[in-house]
Structure 1
Amino acid sequence: MTGPGGEGLLRELAPQVLGALVRRYGHFDAAEDAVQEALLAAAVQWPKDGVPGHPRGWLITVASRRLTDLLRAEQARQRREDAVARGRLPEEWLAPPADRPPRAADDTLVLLFMCCHPSLPPASQIALTLRAVGGLRTAEIARAFLVPEPTMTRRISRAKQRIKDSGVPFGLPPDAERAGRLRTVLHVLYLIFNEGYASTSGPLLRRDELSAEAIRLTRLVRRQVPGDPEVTGLLALMLLTDARRPARTSPDGELVPMAEQDRGRWDAALIAEGVALVGEALPRGPTGPYQLQAAIAAVHDEAPSAAETDWPQIAALYEVLLRVSDTPVVRLNHAVAVAMTRGPEEGLRLLDGPAADDRIAGDHRTHAVRAHLLEMAGAREAARTAYEEAARRAGSLPQQRYLNGRAARLA
């Protein structure tokens, strides 16, 4: 489909329709099947008949009718197979959908909170979010995370079952836990974006569909929660980071580090929007980690060249970030900023902390940073060894090639 009834519109409406059905009927699995059939009907019908005046209501009506059929069929099957009657489904599940107009509200945010329920492990939160809210097919998600499609199908099915078993009602969480749940939602979107921007494994350096979907969903959350500075900060961080995407790879697909990128290829519109969002978010209340990371990204993006980067300001921002979110990755990046400000020896000294942290000690980034700082310090042989070790630990093939290339250059 193209034009106003195209794939983009269906992708935008799909989570809204699914949210409306889950709110009204329950039955996550059956509701999702019904929505997929309604989307298929739209893809066939709308190009011929035109997009209806209220496409969301049209989809909800068609999906509701299909879901009613599915639930009635399931009830009939149980009656045939069960020796003992198990009772009827609640009457509200079987009421003809035409009797009641669909809710005007967009349930996508509620659906996003449900997919990010804290009872689910992070991998399941991400998979379910991409499937139910992002509209990606199970096969697409499986390819993104390099697992067989049946494995991803089981992961998503278990996540749905766990939500069903938890008995959580369809609705935004109570005020007392909403802030904490929103942090979980933001963390899942952050992880989706990162996996799209820099794939942790496989033959591709990045997966643009994942980073684009994370940005779209974060924009949606911001529309629903416009006053939250961390939501604004996360969106700014994504935009400022994604702005560099056109220059991150060479014509043959090889990784290009930031210091060597053609900044003329960076997306000036995304940078301007991201910088404006940072200015909007920072003055509001307590400063959170996404706001600070966005501020750091803004300093990088506004520098006319790598040599003109304001590294002292970046180092100072990382020191504030360490007080808010003291993680080994933040410590690793802080060490780089200090090295660029006060010399590689200072940076290498600060690497001892992350290198001893079990959460990141085996990560290729620790060895890559050490190699870079050793190269800055003139220790070519030690740097070559560290680059080779980083390449052995990297899961992404483009990263492996880049790191092995740096090592070969020092041989």
Structure 2
Amino acid sequence: MLPLQLLRDESERIAQALAKRGLDAGPMLGEILELDRERRKLQAELDETLAEANRKSKEIGELFKTGKAAQAQELKEESGRLKERSKTLGEALNQAAEALQEALYQLPNVPHQSVPAGQDETDNEVVGQGGTKPVLPEGALPHWELAGKHDLIDFELGVKVTGAGFPVYKGKGARLQRALIQFFLDRNTAAGYTEVQVPHLVNADSGYGTGQLPDKEGQMYEVQVDGLYLIPTAEVPVTNLFRDVILSADQLPVCYTAYSPCFRREAGSYGAHVRGLNRLHQFDKVEIVRVEHPEASYKALETMVAHVKGLLEALQLPYRILRLCGGDLGFTSALTYDFEVWSAAQERWLEVSSVSNFEAFQANRLKLRYREGNDKPQLAHTLNGSALALPRVLAGILENYQDETGIRIPEVLVPYTGFDRIDS
């Protein structure tokens, strides 16, 4: 959520910046500023009415002390009307404040100056790449056929138990999945991230804190009877550990990593591009989250990008890095880099990570601040990234590492799997 004072002071600049998203923000900003003026007007009227009521109360006391009961009674009637007026104003103020808050929730983050203008993923910029695309043997298979051939993943069994998009990993497929999780966590902790285990369900306040709510796309699974949501990413509970927290400046940066299953409805996703592991309703992911001083957050973003790049290079997967354009940028992000791995059998790029700087957007919602010395607390910056999301990494390994007789295991994973090949 953008700070209200910033919107008051720089509404024209913000409208111009939001145009990178393809958004005409002028009407939204106008509504927000009008609601802000109405709220401040009501607050001033309420303050004046309450002050007048207090003055009347003191006068009534003095009149009773001096035996002027009749005059005191008249003032009591006036005081009663003032109290009713203050009650009415208080209700109107609450309604205005709620309307203002709701309007602020609808306004996305301002893109960083380096974000290119654009409408969709076709306008994203390729800013880096590495690895070599493999030459596959004749008759190479896509990962969903490899998974069936070697009894690694049973997609139909998942349909029986739950529904489409909930695969069952079996045997060496399950061990390879577990190996990837442990490998990512070990690399993350070695890089200075503290591992945490967090709840897989969150309350509405947590959803609002990191920007998943209001949930415009309806992509979160909701447990309505308890008012809870299954997490779409570990970012949500990990970042919310700092909701309503004031850190000291010398505590920054805070760096956490967490593994979790992730749950996404992915409503409206159909077609061949979502086959197999390409898009799931439940999947595993290892996340990295940072809370940073504003002056250090973009340097931290570079560090996170380099870290994710190192994970893919260790797995020897061909990858590319994209800087997302305004039209493809997430609602809460100021700048995002996507990582994609090459799916050799499908001959297409698959997203495996998004690394983002949210600047103070989430922190403002969370009331996450830091204090330097005795200075007034300031909003911190939050960042997060996938390090890494497993399904498409696993798809990339199965496809890129297949040979004439089976599937090789990346060398760095062999100590975790206990085997170096998957053969028929």
Above 0.5 in TM-score?
no
The structure in which a higher percent of residues are helix is 1
TM-score (norm 1): 0.30
